A and B are shown apart, each in its own frame.
Chain A
Amino acid sequence: MTDGFRRQRYLIDFSLAAMGRRKVRNLGLLAVYSLLVFVLASVMLFTHGLRQEAKRVLAESPEVILQRLVAGRQDLIPPGYLERIGRIRGVQKIQARLWGYYYDPVVKANYTFMVPEARPLAAGEIVIGPAMARERGLVAGNLISFRSYSGRLFTFKVAEVLPQASELMSADLVLLGAGDFRAFFDFPAGHYTDITLTVANPLEVRNVAAKLAAALPDARPILREEVQRTYAALFDWREGMVLTVLSGALLAFAIFAWDKASGLSAEERREIGILKAIGWESGDVLRMKFWEGGLISLAAFLLGYLAAWVHVFHLDGALFRPVLQGWAVLYPHFRLTPEVDGLQLATLFFFTVFPYTAAVLVPIWRAAITDPDAVMRA
């Protein structure tokens, strides 16, 4: 070990011992500091988790969704529309979809009725999402009736409840056969809700969209990447908003830290006086104080980040959920996937340690330049 290292180690030893002598004050500072890191880290971990979740969910969605607009509002796809698209190079699959919303007055929530592409369902059978099963107390084999928009009563048999794992996507989902769907909603024959296109090459997606827009002027192609970008921007914006609101707390913390650091007790002042009298230089005192700040910062950062981790991934981010995730009556229950992001850690570090260190600098310096004789005489 070189001299430099040894010197720093002794300084750390000394700082730790000195901090131990003023336990209450330092623990108070540590608590407030950790709380600040906890709040900021919770917001960041939670939004990052949501962003990742949205990305994962959207990864499976089709590259392009085509809607037809009439007077700027979405309208049904009429018969013959699909044929007009014709063959576009690069498109692997074109599929017309049937889906719609149904308002259930019993639980005061909207369900999404959808005809699945991959799985044919027998007439009179439905598959429902877990949140809806929970709300209506349904299990496989039960019967459930809905009054359709035409006033008729339809009774369906629950063939299956979708697994919990898919809840983020399927909370309010009701899957049913195409015939049932058309009968329930009085859906005009040959019409569809929208069209999805699967494009293999991601670089082709924009070209496909341009061709669609040229061929069908009344259509609106929505790209998956656009939806992804919009979600990312939405969560970024929410995160930024909450952080801006919390910047008041950051400022308050900086003032608190300044105050704590400048309020040197008489004992501490004497200590510094004695240190300087026995040969410490201002630079040494400064370094010792920096170590104090650094150790507190590190401890607070670790404690706060760990607490935020537990809060977000084990307690479901109870404090910030309402602000950050949005709302719905049938809101899905889901666990975020724990993930540490380097950028997020670095940003959090910039947000907390930097202001703290800047705030305590002047008070520390004041302490370091104290003249020994002035202190001892006082």
Chain B
Amino acid sequence: MLFQPAIIALLLAAGLGVAALGLAAPFAWQILRDWDLASGSEKQLAMERRTYLFSALVGLVLGMQLAALLLFVFNADRMAESFVGAMCAVGSLQVNAWGFPALTAQIAVFFAASQWLLINHLDNQARDYPLVRLKYALLLVLLPLLALSFGLQLAYFEGLRSDVITSCCGSLFSGESRGISGEMAAIEPRLAMGFCFGSLALAIAALGRHALSSAPGRANGMFAGLAALLAFPAAIIGILSFLSLYIYEHPHHHCPFCLLKPEYGYLGYALYLPLFLGCAAGIGVGVLQPFCRHPSLAALVPPLAQRLAWVALLALVSFSGLAVGIIWQSRLILLEH
């Protein structure tokens, strides 16, 4: 294993996260079984008090997981210099079989954690713990996901040896390679552009409608959430298949990680941060909608969803604006008129 501070920090964060959720799991089970707000029993009172502790604890470790995704990618990019043939994060993630699964798991944890935090936030605002069962049931789902992510990271970092020859991003994301990333990179640019900007426009329109209308309906919110959910893979495909080409001004360099490097002005961070934020907030708009029906939440959900829609809208607009700007400024001509 590489003995690096960032790796130790990541494992510390993931390990503490699993430990915290593990501690919360028996309590979650107790809530699912015995929670009864109408009862004034000592047990119920103790449970109500404990929810504060576990909400805060889980909130803390999941909040950390959001930051951990950034640290993970940042670190993978930085580690590239330790491996022969690796020139960016792709090289370091490919050193062994666990790199990309660990990244995928971390992204999944990011979105799951953000939605849990959102539900937790909503629940904390209501007086009668309306979502407490759901919250803790979801916690039991999150635990294996977080444990999986921790296990994958452990396996990945454990298997790192500083001298393994890895292929550079040129071979993984080139048009000829097989596998899902290669498929995405090989999509015809015109098609990919249509899909990417189409989905983004759809998400922006739906979110904008939700954010601006005085009485946004539930169906509208759900639709905005779905559109944001679709916008994430669409944007990733866009980055893989054409945006990266415009950034590098090279017709065959499809790497989604090189753009995090200082050579390209850290453009990747300016693209990915709003994309992740926007999609997480946008999905949240949809996730919150079913809770409208709850009497104590009926007044709370719409303003929260509207605020989220604003956040998502601004983030996705800035992502799209930046993407268009990149294409505009680039000296590469990919599509001929």
Contact = CB atoms under 8 A, between A and B. Distances in A.
Contacts of B75: 343
Given A282-B52, A354-B64, A365-B53, A236 B3 contact: yes
Interface stretch (A62-70, A72-80, A117-125, A238-246): A238-246
A229 B82 contact: yes
Contact of B71 (A228, A282, A346): A346
Nearest to A357: B60
A241 B75 CA distance: 18
Interface residues of A, number: 36
A346 B269 CA distance: 15
Contact of A350 (B3, B71, B82): B71
Interface string B1-39: 011111011101100100010000000000000000000
A358 B85 CA distance: 40
Contacts, number: 92
Contacts of A361: 53, 56-57, 60
A347 B52 contact: no
B162 interface: yes
B322 interface: no
Contacts of A206: 84-85
A346 B49 contact: no
Interface of B is mostly: helix
A350 B8 CA distance: 10
Contacts of B124: 283
Given A240-B5, A351-B12, A357-B60, A346 B52 contact: no
B81 interface: yes
Contacts of B4: 236, 239-240
Contacts of B57: 358, 361
B3 A241 contact: yes
Given A283-B52, A286-B52, A365-B52, A346 B70 contact: yes
A303 B9 CA distance: 21
A364 to B, nearest CB: 8
B81 A368 contact: no
Given A229-B162, A241-B3, A362 B71 contact: no
A259 B57 CA distance: 18
A344 B13 CA distance: 15
Interface string A338-356: 0000111011001100110
B81 A229 contact: yes
Nearest to B269: A342
Contacts of B70: 346
A241 B3 CA distance: 8
A232 B3 CA distance: 11
A333 to B, nearest CB: 27
A206 B84 CA distance: 10
B3 A343 contact: no
A276 to B, nearest CB: 12
Query: Would you list the 7 A-B pairs with minimal beta carbon distance, nearest first?
Result: A240-B3, A350-B9, A365-B53, A369-B49, A347-B9, A347-B6, A347-B5
Interface of B: 2-6, 8-10, 12-13, 16, 20, 49, 52-53, 56-57, 60-61, 64, 67-68, 70-71, 74-75, 78, 81-85, 124, 162-163
Given A236-B3, A283-B52, 16 more contacts: A226-B84, A232-B81, A233-B2, A236-B4, A236-B82, A240-B5, A243-B8, A244-B3, A342-B74, A350-B10, A351-B5, A354-B12, A361-B57, A361-B60, A362-B53, A368-B52
20 contacts: A229-B82, A229-B163, A232-B81, A239-B5, A240-B8, A243-B8, A283-B52, A343-B74, A344-B5, A346-B9, A346-B70, A346-B71, A347-B9, A350-B64, A350-B67, A351-B8, A354-B16, A354-B64, A355-B12, A361-B57
